[in-house]
Amino acid sequence: MKALTRSIMAVAALAALAITFTLASSVGTQASPAELHLNASDATITVDGDSSEWAAINGLTVPMKQFEIPPGSDWDTPGVVDPIDATLKVATDDTNIYVLFEVPDDYDFDGPVPPNNHKVSAALAVQFLIDPAAGPHMGSGHSDFEAGLGMVDLWHWELDCIASAMSGGGPAGSGNDPDCNMDDEYSTDPETREDDGGGDPNAAAENSLAGSWSHSGSAGGIDTAGTWTFEMSRPLQTGDPEDAAFAAGGTAKVALAYWDADEGATGWTDLGHVTSADGGWINVHLPGVAGGTDRLWADTDCSGAVNPIDSLKVLRHDAGLSVSQTAGCPGVGTSVTVAD
């Protein structure tokens, strides 16, 4: 057993304030769907395209659909792609963050590339907030895709290598993956996207992503129904300012995108993807203590979810006001004890 002191609650307070900010920033643009939260787990994952070791790990269902192109834009209208419910799982250990992105869609793969064409294979992106104000549409918000609000970290993976192969990595000074096209990128709005190191000078640019994929129906051949498994990892801290930095007990803000090779006769288009971004950032709560439990630290009232009530309780506590708690839930600001 390990006694945890007020520092844990300080983490909870920071997380709750971050949630308050997110809620405030999304008001007024459109009817906001319920915020999505995921408790990441404490685990070490082998990145090999085999999801079996994720079986007991908590997952989140993520609705994904095509975004609406804002009025007045000169962007081309993409083909129609059906909405999907993807599954997101996240784990961390002392060194790495691990991401499992599972997509229910048929098997389309035309690789390796070259000589073949990755636009008739699936493609994906995982996006993380870097600058606190950045919006979930590649840095922009819901109402104006041309107005960047800050930088986001993009893991952008077009499937140039075969199933189970290791993707990611590349020469120093660049986020480019010259072999498998799992590029480490950043963007500030949908039209401003670069490999790390590909825009403003960035001596620390690097690509330490690792990824491996599989599809449950691949043995049946092209168009066989099933589920894509995209398994990925990266060090928690890369030292690259064009990457998100992850900390124990922190909240990672995540968005997902998926390109369906069945969008049109020539495969997917840049704009044709489904995305989680219309639902705002997904809040992924990283395990707070090395070797600790998967408790959701930001859930100050032990309700099982993080919501504005938690923010209010932390604000009341910080202001010296009384905070009512349900029976059995530690008071905000008090010590708690968890299994080691």
> Which of 44, 46, 266, 334: binder of Ca ion (CB under 5 A)?
46
> Which of 35, 42, 105, 299: binder of Ca ion (CB under 5 A)?
105
> Which of 42, 243, 278, 310: binder of Ca ion (CB under 5 A)?
243
Question: Shortest distance, CB of residue 288 to Ca ion, whole angstroms?
Answer: 24
Question: Shortest distance, CB of residue 53 to Ca ion, whole angstroms?
Answer: 5
For the chain, where are the alpha helices, taking DSSP H only? 6-26, 308-318
Closest among 195, 209, 193, 127 to 161, alpha carbons compared: 209
> Which of 260, 278, 299, 301: binder of Ca ion (CB under 5 A)?
260
Q: Provide the CA 180 distance to its chain's centre, in angstroms.
A: 21
Binding of residue 153 to Ca ion (CB under 5 A): yes
Residues in the chain: 340
CB-wise, 158 or 184, nearer to Ca ion?
A: 184
Take residue 146 and report the two structure tokens written for it.
């041309």
Considering only residues 156 to 175 of the shown chain, the ones binding Ca ion according to CB under 5 A are 175
Question: Shortest distance, CB of residue 332 to Ca ion, whole angstroms?
Answer: 36
Strands 36-39 and 282-285: parallel
**Is 216:227 a contact under the CB 8 Å cutoff?**
yes
Beta bridge partners of 254: 128, 282
**Is 202:242 a contact under the CB 8 Å cutoff?**
yes
Binding of residue 102 to Ca ion (CB under 5 A): no
Instruction: Report the distance separating Cα 187 and Cα 189, nearest Å.
Output: 6
**What spatial distance separates the first Cα and last Cα of the chain, rounded to whole Å?**
5
Q: Give how many residues touch Ca ion by CB under 5 A.
A: 16
Question: Shortest distance, CB of residue 79 to Ca ion, whole angstroms?
Answer: 11
**Is 155:210 a contact under the CB 8 Å cutoff?**
no
Question: Shortest distance, CB of residue 240 to Ca ion, whole angstroms?
Answer: 4
Question: Shortest distance, CB of residue 64 to Ca ion, whole angstroms?
Answer: 13
Binding of residue 186 to Ca ion (CB under 5 A): yes
In the block, which residue shows the tokens 């975004």?
67
**Is 207:169 a contact under the CB 8 Å cutoff?**
yes
Beta bridge partners of 124: 157, 258
CB-wise, 48 or 110, nearer to Ca ion?
A: 48
Question: Shortest distance, CB of residue 153 to Ca ion, whole angstroms?
Answer: 4
CB-wise, 260 or 278, nearer to Ca ion?
A: 260
Stretch that binds Ca ion, among 24-32, 95-103, 206-214, 300-308 (CB under 5 A): 206-214
Residues 6+ apart with CB under 8 A from 146: 73, 140, 189, 190, 191
Stretch that binds Ca ion, among 131-139, 149-157, 271-279, 298-306 (CB under 5 A): 149-157
Using CB under 5 A as the criterion, what x/- string covers residues 106-125 for binding Ca ion? x-------------------
Binding of residue 240 to Ca ion (CB under 5 A): yes
Take residue 135 and report the two structure tokens written for it.
């919006």
Take residue 310 and report the two structure tokens written for it.
């938690």
CB-wise, 44 or 61, nearer to Ca ion?
A: 44
Instruction: Report the distance separating Cα 6 and Cα 9, nearest Å.
Output: 5
Stretch that binds Ca ion, among 9-17, 28-36, 131-139, 148-156 (CB under 5 A): 148-156
Take residue 281 and report the two structure tokens written for it.
């950032």
CB-wise, 128 or 297, nearer to Ca ion?
A: 128
Question: Shortest distance, CB of residue 104 to Ca ion, whole angstroms?
Answer: 9
DSSP state of 316: H
CB-wise, 46 or 266, nearer to Ca ion?
A: 46
In the block, which residue shows the tokens 């007990």?
249
Q: Contact positions toward Ca ion, by CB under 5 A?
A: 46, 48, 50, 105-106, 153, 175, 184, 186, 196, 206, 240, 242-243, 260, 262
